[in-house]
Structure 1
Amino acid sequence: METSPARLPYRLDPAGGCPHAVNARLLAQGAVAPVELPGGIGGMAVLGHEALKEFLQHPEVAKNARHFTALREGRIAEGWPLLTFATVPGMTTADGDDHRRLRSLAARAFTPRRVADLKPRVEELTESLLDGLARAAAADGGVADLRRHFALPLPMGVICELLGVDVEFRDRLHHLGSQVVATDTAPADAVAANRELVAVLGEIAAAKAARPGDDLTSALIAVGDEDGDRLSRPELIGTLLLMIIAGHETTLNLITNAVRALCAHPRQLALVRAGEASWADAVEETLRWDAPVSYFPFRYPVRDLTVAGTAIPAGTPVLAGYSAAGRDPAAHGPDADRFDVTRAGRPGAVRHLSLGHGAHFCLGAPLARLEATVALERLFTRFPGLRPAVPEAELAPHAGFVGNSVRSLPVRLVPHGS
C-alpha cells in the first residue's frame, strides 16, 4: 500500500480546549495524523472511524509501555504528564494472556448482574443529588454548577460505593485523579499527585484486606484465592486507579456534555420528551457527537505499520482519537457534525467507537450508560426548563487533551410546574 506524503506534526495543546475544529482540519488531511506530545515527544493520532476501528483491534499493536521507544530510550522525564497513562499496572497497559487474566479477574467482580442491581441505587442517589442541586441554586439566585453538584457526585458516588470507598476519600480522589489525567499539570505536581494517589489507594486496599466487605475492592483482593491467580499489589492499585478515574471522569464528562447538547438543541430534546427517541438514544448520540474522551493514550505498533495509507513506525505512542472518529463524515455521513438523537435508528447507521473497540472495550460501559440515562431522564423531568446560565463560548474547557468537556456548567433551574 502506498503511504501518504509526510505531514508536519500537529502540536497538541497541553491545556486542552474544544477538539472539534482541530479534528476537522486534521481529518480533512487524512485519517492518521502525526502529533507532537508534551515535551516534544513525537506521536500519532488515529482520527478516522474505520482507521481507528482497524487500529484498536490490530494484532500487532500493543498496550505495554515496554514497546514505547522514547520511554525505553530514557527520553521521558519522571514528571511527564502522560506517564501514568503509559505505565500504570493493570488492564490498560497489558497485552495478550496478561490482559485476559487481569480483565477476567476484574470482570468476575464487576459483573453485568452487579451493574443491573445498582439501578435502584443510581435512581435513589440521582434524586438526592437533584435535591442538592436545587438547594445550591436556591442559595445563589437560581443558578448552580451542574457539573459540581450533580454530574460529578453521581458517578463518583456510585463507583466508590461499588468499591467500598468511604465518603471521606472521594473529594481527594477526584482532585488527585484530575491532576493525574490533566496534560497541563506541572511535572513536580504530576509526580506528587501520582504518589499521593497511589498512597491513598494503598490505604484503602489495606483496610479492605484487613476487614473485607461486600464490595468490589474486597472481591478483587479475594477473587484469585480459589486458583491462586490473584492480583499483585501493583496490579490491584492500578486496577483501583483505573476504575475510580475511568469510573467517574468519563461519566462526569458524558453527563455534562449531554446536558449541554440537549440544551443547545431544543428540538432534539423535544423529540426525546415526545417519545420519538429515548434518553438512551440521547446518551449514545452524545458519546458519538461529543465524546467524553478525546485523545486516549497509548498504543504502540510492535512493527512498522501502515494504517489508512500512513506509516506508523514501531514503538510510536499512538492516541485513539475518539472525538474525531465520532464526527468522521466518511462513517457518519455528511451531517456527522450535527447532533441528532434519532441517528442510531437510521438504516445503515454506524456505531460509534467512543467506549473503545476490541479486547480493551470499556469494562464499565454498561454502568456509564445506566448512570447517564437515569441522570438525564430524572434531571429534565425535575427541571423541564433547565438552561445554561452562561453562553457556551464562555465555558472554560476541560484541562488537557485527553478528557473532553468543560470545567463547570452553571445552569438556571426551572422546576416542574413553574
Structure 2
Amino acid sequence: MDPYRLDLTGHDIHAEGALLRDRGPVTRVELPGGVVAWSVNRIDLLRRLLADPRVSKDARRHWAAWRDAEVPDDWPLHIWVSVENMFTAYGPDHRRLRSLVAKAFTPRRTDALRAGVQAIATDLLDALDAGPDLVDLRAGYANPLPIEVICRLIGVPDEARPGLRRAVDIFFDTTVTPELATANRFDVRRILEDLVAARRRDPRDDLTSELIAVRDEGDGRLTETELVDTLILFIAAGHETTVNLLDHAITALLTHPGQLALVRSGERGWRDVVEETLRWQAPVAHLPLRYAVEDLVVAGVPIRRGEAILASYAAASRDPGLHGPTADDFDLARADKEHLAFGHGAHYCLGAPLAHLEAEIALPALFERFPDAELAVPPGGLRPVRSFISNGHDSLPVRLRP
C-alpha cells in the first residue's frame, strides 16, 4: 500500500484520523518533502510504543534518513527534529536534560503561578468587557493567556514577544515554504540568543537565568546550544497546546449547551471539561518524530531499524476500540476519558500540570464573566489552523452578549 499523503492544511483532522485507522493501526504516511513515516493511530499500541526504550527521539543517532543526509537542510519540519533539547534526546541525554528542566515544573512552583494566571485572565476579561460584543476569543483570550504565562516564566521582554509568537505560528504551520521555515529557524535562535545575552548581563528570577547559571557552572551539564534549544521548547510547547485546549473547550461548551448545563449545575466539573476536551480534540494531532532503535513488529507490521514513526494523537484519542461508538462525541459524563494529549512514558509533558492550571482558571472565569456568550458563526464556519500538527481554529468568533 502506498503511503497516505497527509493533508498539510489540516482541513479535517478527524476525518483523516478515521481514514488512517481504516488503513490499519500502523500505516505509512507521507510528510512534507516526500518524507515517509509510520503513523501509529491506536491508543493501546501508541501508549506502549511511547514507553518502549527501543523507540528514540534522537534523529542524529537513530533516524537513518537524517544520518544519511537524505533529508534536506531546508525541510519544513527541520526544527522539529534538529533541536538539541529534551524533546529530541534519548537515554542518558534525555534524563540529564529533563532533570534540569523538571525543577521549573515542580508542584510547588506550578501552584505558585496560580495568582499570576488569575490576574492575567482577569486583565484579559476586563479588556474584552470594555470592547465590542463580537470578539475573536482565540486572539483575545485563548492565545494571549498562555503566551503571557510562559513569557513571564522564561523572562521574555515585551519587545521580543511579537517575534516569538510569529516564530511559533510558523513552526506549527505545515504549509509554509522551505525558505520561510529555514529563515524562521534562524530568526527564533537570534531572538533567544539575544535573551540569553541579556540575562547573562542582568540575571533575574526566571527560568532563563536559572538555565544560564547551570550552563555557566562549567560542569558539562548543559551546552550553549542545548540552553537556547530548551528555551525554544518552552516557547513552542509551553503555549500552543494550551491555546488549542482553551480554544476547543470554549467551542465545545458553546456548541453543546447540554454539556455546559452539567457544569453549571455542578454535576460535572471543570476538570471533566479539560480531560474530555483533550481526548475529543487533541491539541497536537500528529507529533513528529520518533525512530526505531532496532527492528520492531507493531500489530504485525515490521518497522525497520532507523525508520521514522509519527505519533497520531488525534486519531488515537478517538479510538473506537477504547471509547466505543461514541468516540467522536463530546461527553463530559464519559466514564473513561483516556487520551494521550500530553504523551506518555519518558517524554510525558512536564508542562501538563501548568496547562491544567491555566485551563481550570481561564475557563470558569470566562463563562462566569460572560454567561450568555454564543458562537457568532455556525460551527461549520470555523476554519482550522493550517497544520497537520496543531489542532485549533484560525479564529473563534464569539458574541459575548446575545
1:294 and 2:289 correspond: no
Deviation at 1:133, TM superposition (A): 2.1
1:20 is matched with: 14
Question: Where in structure 1 do 4 or more consecutive aligned residues deviate above 6 Å?
Answer: none
2:100 is matched with: 105
2:266 is matched with: 275
SS in 2 for 1:359: helix
CA RMSD of aligned residues (A): 1.4
Residues 306-360 of structure 1: CA deviation (Å, up to 9, x unaligned) = 11222222222211111111100111222111111122xx2xx262111000000
Q: Pick the aligned partner of 2:343 from 330, 348, 356.
A: 356
Counterpart residue type for residue 40 of structure 1: G
Deviation at 1:43, TM superposition (A): 1.0
SS in 2 for 1:300: strand
1:51 and 2:51 correspond: no
Q: Aligned partners of 1:29 and 1:331: how far apart in 2? A: 18
Deviation at 1:28, TM superposition (A): 2.6
Task: Show structure 2 runs of 5+ residues with no match.
Answer: none
1:74 and 2:69 correspond: yes
Q: Aligned partners of 2:77 and 2:215: how far apart in 1? A: 31
Task: Show structure 1 runs of 5+ residues with no match.
Answer: 1-6
Q: Aligned partners of 2:257 and 2:103: how far apart in 1? A: 42
Q: Pick the aligned partner of 1:321 from 309, 312, 335.
A: 312
1:412 is matched with: 399
Deviation at 1:18, TM superposition (A): 2.5
Q: Pick the aligned partner of 1:380 from 367, 375, 384.
A: 367
1:198 and 2:198 correspond: no
Residues 178-233 of structure 1: CA deviation (Å, up to 9, x unaligned) = 11222111111111111000000100111111111111111111136668243211
Residues 32-74 of structure 1: CA deviation (Å, up to 9, x unaligned) = 1210111111111111000100110111111101211222222
1:91 and 2:86 correspond: yes
Residues 65-91 of structure 1: CA deviation (Å, up to 9, x unaligned) = 121122222221222111100111100
SS in 1 for 2:135: strand
1:391 is matched with: 378
How much identity, in percent, do the aligned residues show?
A: 49
What is the TM-score with the length of structure 1 in the denominator? 0.93
What is the TM-score with the length of structure 2 in the denominator? 0.97
- Count of residue correspondences: 401
Is the 8 Å Cα contact of residues 396 and 408 (structure 1) preserved in structure 2?
yes
Q: Aligned partners of 1:315 and 1:411: how far apart in 2? A: 47
Q: Aligned partners of 1:330 and 1:279: how far apart in 2? A: 26
Q: How does 1:147-296 map to 2 (within 5 A)?
A: 147-223=138-214, 228-296=219-287
Counterpart residue type for residue 132 of structure 1: A
Residues 218-258 of structure 1: CA deviation (Å, up to 9, x unaligned) = 11111366682432111011100000111111101110011
Is the 8 Å Cα contact of residues 109 and 219 (structure 1) preserved in structure 2?
no
Is the 8 Å Cα contact of residues 96 and 221 (structure 2) preserved in structure 1?
no
Q: Aligned partners of 2:157 and 2:29: how far apart in 1? A: 41
Is the 8 Å Cα contact of residues 276 and 337 (structure 2) preserved in structure 1?
no
Is the 8 Å Cα contact of residues 47 and 322 (structure 1) preserved in structure 2?
yes
Q: Aligned partners of 1:71 and 1:133: how far apart in 2? A: 47
